[in-house]
Amino acid sequence: MSTGPNRMMDEFARLMTDAAGAAQGMRREVETAFQAQAERFLNSMDLVRREEFDVVRDMAIKARDENDALKARLDALEAKLAGNAE
């Protein structure tokens, strides 16, 4: 059985290794708890997913383009009617 400084150093090294492992385990628990809390918070908000946002944005762009095309047709028809009325 070893005694003296070597045994003390071995015990100290083992203690530090155990403490590091415990700290790492606590870190994982805190990260998991934080992630779960953040997820609950975000789910409680009325947010849309990126995919849903992109779909609606594309629909709005298409509707705007169609509206511009219809306005151009209407302007052309009105100009034609105004020309015929004269």
Domain boundaries, the chain: 1-47, 48-86
Residue 13 has pLDDT above 70, yes or no: yes
At 43, the pLDDT band (50, 70, 90 cuts) reads: confident
In 3D, which of 71, 47, 69, 67 has the Cα closest to residue 59?
A: 67
Q: What pTM did the predictor assign?
A: 0.49
Q: What is the mean pLDDT of residues 22-47?
A: 92
Amino acid at 12: F
Amino acid at 18: D
What pLDDT is stored for residue 2 in this prediction? 55
What pLDDT is stored for residue 3 in this prediction? 63
All residues at 6 or more sequence positions from 10 whose CB lies less than 8 Å from its CB, including other chains:
2
